[in-house]
Amino acid sequence: MKRFLPLVFISCSFILSSQNLILNPSFEQNGERYCEDWYAGWLPMENYCDTFQNFGVRMIHSDPPDSIRGSWSVELYGNWPSGSYIGTYIPAKAGTNVYELKFWMNSSHFGGGGGINLKGNQSAETKWIEDWGQPWTQYTLLDTITTVPGDSIYVILSAGVGDFCICDVQFDQVEFAVVDSITTATNDPSVEYSFTISPNPVINDLHVNTSDVNHFEFTLYDMAGKIIFHQTSNIEKLVIDCSGLAPGIYFYEISVDGRKERVGKIMKI
């Protein structure tokens, strides 16, 4: 039986308020449920923004004390033997910055949590804050992340694993902001390279082309950050068979001599 660790991080009072980078923090708009900019697994949540459960996710409307302010919230089901999660992607501010994630969570029935991961950087561990058995509580997580232009950050909310049961966790009012900038990244134009990735969306073969360099590394990730494909090319063209991939959103990273040159996303249809 897997359980979440009851870790609660309290934010310090000296943290300055900053602009929320999450475009849809409350899962509602004009009093109606709203799921734009969130993904359930690899599926856009706006396609499944319903009060019925889809892929372990549904929207609920409750009054206090069952909600934080009488509003729409998202409910995730940790259905044994796997959990359930949603996430949103945020363009990163280049350089080394301190980010703050805040969210409200109701884990009265079981455990849940939130985390931050730098997409495209497999060596970057997801930073988590987890708890269980608590009514509506606001949680805060701080993390220092170094990024280059083109990076994105993945904010994830997750329900845990239950004991042969469906255990629900609710989330609302998600905030993510830069609270301190330590360095600013700069580019050296002399070592930048041009790449084309096509077609996008892709059905079968994905073509990666460049005329600037005859060696590069290409890595493809799914929306959970798992490496789907990795290859070092010693020619200016790479063809990747994507016919066996499930439909959805995937992220790619191109590196030359260990330097990340380009990141982006493709859609498999």
- Domain layout of the chain by residue ranges: 28-183, 189-268
Q: Does domain 28-183 have CATH number 3.30.750.210?
A: no
Return the higher-pLDDT residue of 102 and 84: 102
Q: Is the pLDDT of residue 166 over 80?
A: no
* CA separation for the pair 182, 177 (Å, rounded): 14
More confident residue, 28 or 48: 28
Distance CA 211, CA 34 (A): 44
Task: Give 216's strand partners.
Answer: 233
What is the CATH number that goes with domain 189-268? 2.60.40.3080
Q: Tell me: the pLDDT tens digits for 13-45? A: 233 346 899 999 999 988 899 999 999 877 889
Q: Which two tokens stand for residue 89?
A: 């992607």
Choice between 33 and 263, residue whose per-residue pLDDT is larger: 33
- pTM of the full structure: 0.61
Among the listed residues 197, 194, 193, 187, the one whose alpha carbon sits nearest the alpha carbon of residue 220: 197
Which among 71-85, 158-172, 176-190 has the top mean pLDDT? 71-85
pLDDT mean over 105-127 = 75
